[in-house]
């Protein structure tokens, strides 16, 4: 379904739903929400609006009981392959609805938020996947710098690990985000929040080599990189996409003999895990990762406690 919260609204949604979702989308945009997140809200709310409208309810008429029915439907909805929606997906869809009705309450169009009474399914407490420090070293050291693309990839993944960047943050970096004198990077994260992250000598050396020898060669004869502000360019001289980054990482994982399927986000998890193992405190890691809540960062303490248990079992004579 197309995003009903944009100007490209499905015509089969009733007017009151289209207008309410369009107002909500404009509010999200005014608050600086990322386009990708806004689209996800639009898809989730469009599906709910179509279902509620079919049940005869407009935005003001939705009540707790109707939302409970929708939550039960989501939990039992099969995806392709016959499996039901995952608990995190159901929780995300309910969170979108909760945010929409919170906005209606703020505007005075509702006296209550009916979604507050609908519990989200508990999320599985899975530990973030991380590479060992020697595996990260093997991956990065195996990326040569003989060609412009290799030099770019070495700089990109050195910086990603050095700063714990999300994939979207990497591709959104512009040249002016770098401060070589201070060895710092200005990162635009989720919710359009900016944070300053230091980078190490390895990343700085790789970046300097990329900028001095490789960047100007990318896209030569196809697109002029001089007018492109992006830090990392494709071979056609344009800003890299997130899929480009994921695809290139798979190339170097294979060459390093590491498991395929590892995502750029694993480098971010590895960054946080290695900082914690090295003695960094959670508040520092929270700031470096750009987490809005410390509870998100606290998940890494389970990784560290697992490592400590293994060391204890290996070393203590009475373990």
Q: Which residues does the annotation mark as catalytic?
A: 166, 190, 265, 268, 291, 300
Check residue 218 and give left, alpha or beta (phi > 0: left; psi -120 to 50: alpha).
Answer: beta
CA distance 4 to 38: 11
The residue that leads in pLDDT, 86 or 251, is: 251
The answer to whether the 15-117 and 133-261 domains have the same CATH topology is no
Tell the CATH topology of 133-261: hpI Integrase; Chain A (1.10.443)
CA distance 157 to 202: 11
Q: Which residue has the tokens 């945010």?
A: 99
pLDDT digit string (tens) for 23-49?
Answer: 999 999 888 787 888 899 999 999 999
Q: Is the pLDDT of residue 197 over 60?
A: yes
Q: How confident is the model at residue 57 (pLDDT cuts 50, 70, 90)?
A: very high
pTM of the predicted protein model: 0.65
Q: Where are the domains of the chain?
A: 15-117, 133-261
15-117: CATH class? mainly alpha
Q: How confident is the model at residue 80 (pLDDT cuts 50, 70, 90)?
A: very low
- Tell me the C-alpha to C-alpha distance, in Å, between residue 30 and each of 33, 96, 107, 175, 195: 8, 17, 15, 26, 20
Could you give the percent of the chain with pLDDT greater than 90?
55
Question: What is the reported pLDDT for 121?
Answer: 79
Q: Is the pLDDT of residue 96 over 50?
A: yes
In this prediction, residues 171-189 reach a mean pLDDT of 93
pLDDT digit string (tens) for 290-300?
Answer: 887 776 666 66
Q: Is the pLDDT of residue 259 over 50?
A: yes
């Amino acid at each position: 379904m197309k995003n009903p919260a944009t100007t490209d609204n499905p015509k089969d949604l009733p007017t009151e739903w289209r207008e309410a979702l369009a107002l909500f989308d404009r509010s999200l945009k005014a608050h600086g929400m990322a386009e990708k997140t806004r689209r996800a809200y639009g898809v989730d709310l469009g599906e709910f609006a179509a279902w509620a409208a079919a049940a005869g309810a407009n935005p003001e008429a939705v009540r707790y009981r109707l939302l409970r029915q929708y939550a039960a439907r989501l939990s039992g909805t099969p995806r392709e392959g016959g499996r039901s929606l995952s608990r995190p997906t159901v929780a995300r869809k309910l969170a979108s609805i909760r945010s929409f009705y919170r906005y209606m309450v703020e505007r005075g169009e509702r006296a209550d938020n009916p979604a507050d009474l609908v519990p989200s399914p508990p999320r599985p407490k899975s530990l973030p996947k991380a590479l060992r420090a020697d595996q990260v070293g093997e991956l990065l050291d195996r990326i040569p710098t003989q060609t412009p693309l290799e030099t770019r990839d070495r700089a990109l993944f050195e910086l990603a690990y050095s700063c714990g960047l999300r994939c979207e943050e990497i591709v959104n970096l512009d040249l002016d985000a770098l401060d070589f004198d201070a060895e710092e990077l200005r990162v635009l994260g989720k919710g359009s929040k900016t944070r300053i992250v230091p980078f190490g000598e390895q990343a700085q050396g790789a970046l300097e080599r990329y900028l001095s020898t490789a960047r100007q060669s990318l896209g030569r004869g196809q697109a002029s990189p001089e007018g492109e502000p992006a830090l990392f360019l494709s071979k056609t001289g344009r800003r890299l996409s997130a899929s480009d980054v994921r695809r290139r990482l798979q190339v170097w994982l294979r060459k390093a003999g590491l498991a395929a399927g590892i995502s750029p986000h694993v480098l971010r998890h590895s960054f946080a895990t290695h900082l914690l193992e090295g003695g960094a405190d959670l508040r520092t890691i929270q700031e470096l990762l750009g987490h809005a809540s410390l509870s998100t960062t606290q998940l890494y303490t389970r990784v560290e406690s697992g490592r400590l248990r293994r060391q204890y079992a290996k070393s203590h004579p009475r373990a």
